[in-house]
Amino acid sequence: MKIVMLGAPGAGKGTQAKMIAARYEIPHISTGDIFRANIKEGTELGKKAKAFMDQGLLVPDELTLELIMDRFAKDDCANGYVLDGFPRTIAQAEALTASLRKNGDALDYAIDVDVPDEDIVKRMGGRRACLACGGTFHILFNPPKKEGVCDLCGGELSIRKDDEPETVQKRLNVYHAQTQPLIDYYTEEGILKSVDGTQEVGKVFEDIVEILNG
């Protein structure tokens, strides 16, 4: 079962990817994890990626794809995987499809966790982080006992720059411009399945399981 996860930042696709991986005993693969693992192990591909990252540059698509295909070749991917965070653009999606085809392989599902922009702004804008211990809360879903104060250490809670409404909206604009077209791409490939990501986490997962168990 080879799955790619789609969804806007803050839609909860990473959480769902981990739950799918645990349920079906397949690895959850994110590009960040691949980069870190290869850099830590000092592989040739890792060294190449590190050279870009050390300069504050994005790792080129070609190298990212090479790292992903190398990860797919590992034994734990024999029964499939959940790919999270790649592809982000049509060019990346086409390159991934072509690389898989070369190996006589293909993705089984592209799962889109669909959440409207206004819900994402609300979700992310409600997050609060403790500057002292790193604890995280949400003013609606997981509020601290005392407003503005961390339950864990008593430190001050604040909104991270990343979670400010203007920043969130900018990230969503980038997502709609670059990544939203993947919905059309995977629809044409015949593998797109969409779930309502505004529901409770467990219900979203139930809907995904229903799709995967077909």
Active site residues: 13, 88, 127, 160, 171
- Strand runs labelled E in 85-197: 109-114, 127-130, 136-138, 157-158, 192-196
The set of residues, in sequence order, having a beta carbon less than 8 Å from that of 146 and lying 6+ positions away, is none
Spatial separation of the C-alpha atoms in residues 81 and 107, rounded to whole Å: 10
Strands 2-6 and 109-114: parallel
Closest to 140 measured CA to CA, from 161, 121, 156: 121
Two tokens, residue 198? 């505004």
| Tokens 């990346």 -> residue | 92
User: Taking a C-beta distance cutoff of 8 angstroms, is the pair 137, 143 a contact?
Assistant: yes
Spatial separation of the C-alpha atoms in residues 70 and 34, rounded to whole Å: 10
Spatial separation of the C-alpha atoms in residues 170 and 137, rounded to whole Å: 23
